Amino acid sequence: MRSDEFKYELHRVVVEHIRRNPDRVREIGLRNVDRMREQYRLQGWGSPGTWLEEWETLLRGPVEDLVGMCLLEGEHGNDMRQMGPFSGVISQAERMSVVTSLLRRTRDAA
């Protein structure tokens, strides 16, 4: 199971949550963006780069733009998903379901 594939599948579940309750996901995402920004500052890591600002803009913008980034294919989509601000959006059971599904798919492909 590749990390990019795992992150993509997790973000597919996040998209389900966005479609059901966009305000909740935005609230969690913006809170996480603030935490990440503060973590960078406290650790002296310098600037977190443009990805954090991009997520904040997406979280404050149209739902379809946010969904589009969550599911964007290619290098930029992969990079953004590696730093996604959605911790706390999906449950542990949903996360384990993604893991199980990917492991099953990997096993069946072998």
Which tens digit of pLDDT belongs to each residue from 54-80? Answer: 999 999 999 999 999 999 999 999 999
Higher pLDDT, 48 or 8: 8
Whether 94 contacts 88, CB under 8 Å: no
Give burial (CB, 10 Å; 0-12/13-18/19+) of 97. middle
Q: Is 93 helix (H, G, I), strand (E, B) or coil?
A: helix
pLDDT over threshold 70, residue 1: no
Half-sphere exposure of 85 (CA within 13 A, CB side): 27
Q: How many CB atoms lie within 10 A of CB 47?
A: 10
pTM given for the model = 0.87
What phi, psi does 88 have (nearest 5°)?
100, -5
pLDDT over threshold 90, residue 89: yes
What distance, in Å, lies between the first and last C-alpha atoms of the chain?
A: 12
